[in-house]
Amino acid sequence: MVQNVYLMERNKKIGEKVVINFKKRFFEAYFVETKKEALEKAIDLIPQNDTVSWGGSMSVLEIGLIDHILKGNYNVINRDLAKTAEERTAMLRQALLCDTYLMGTNAISADGQLVNIDCIGNRTASLMFGPKNVIVIAGMNKLTTNLQDAIKRAREIAAPTNMQRVAGKGLRQTPCFSTGICEDCTSKDSICSNIVITRLCNPPKRIKIILTSESLGF
Ligand code: SF4
């Protein structure tokens, strides 16, 4: 546990600088130490009665935010409740116009840029345009030294790991599903159709980033 205290101290020093760099790029950004604080901050940022939706994200799940939204006073667009593929697609399209969209991020560069990889692009589309507000939940494990390393992290760590998660949905025919290693495939089952760098937030403060000292997601 002593080690954790030192890690938390280091993360705080670095994380607060990353928050300053996010703000220079017009993101609204916060550094918090724990998952519990991340949840509290996210709840503060979501107005009651908002229409809320989300992209697939272990980080959002891990802090308990989806549970809170499902129990709370919000209008929810939850594609996991769709009974058919058509209904699911319709919900994904509706989510593009929600009030608050929740998501994680695949990587962060220390100078304050986000890198995200997406299959059909609903998550990256929502990040770029549509929802009035986007809340990004991220652990310090997503932080890399520079943009090149952030892209590398997204491609070589986040995407092959995510493939293990989605493989249960039948997306199996990729090299990374078998080996765990990205081979830059062009398989029809690839989840890496879109690689998006968010280098500035426009309009300012539309994207709100909650960076926590604790590790979240992968
Ligand atoms: S092997 Fe294909 S699906 Fe897997 S991470 Fe690389 S590009 Fe993405």
Q: What confidence tens digit (pLDDT) does each residue in 86-129 have?
A: 999 999 999 999 999 999 999 999 999 999 999 999 999 999 99
Q: Give the gyration radius of the chain's Cα atoms.
A: 17
Distance (Å) from CA 143 to ligand 1 centroid:
21
List the residue whose alpha carbon is closest to atom 1 of ligand 1. 182
> Which atom of ligand 1 lies closest to the CA of 162?
5
What's the DSSP call for residue 79? Answer: G
CB of 157 closer than 6 angstroms to any ligand 1 atom: no
Tell me, what amino acid is at 163? M
> Residue 71's CB: how many other CB atoms inside 10 A?
8
Q: State the closest ligand 1 atom to the C-alpha of 185, by its place in the atom list counted from 1.
A: 2
Distance CA 15, CA 29 (A): 10
Whether the CB-CB separation of 104 and 137 falls below 8 Å is answered with yes
Q: Which atom of ligand 1 is nearest to the CA of 117?
A: 8
Task: Tell the CATH topology of 2-212.
Answer: Rossmann fold (3.40.50)
DSSP 108: E
Tell me how far the alpha carbon of residue 119 lies from the centroid of ligand 1, in angstroms: 10
- Per-residue confidence band for 166, with pLDDT thresholds at 50, 70 and 90: confident
Residue percentage of the chain with pLDDT more than 70: 96
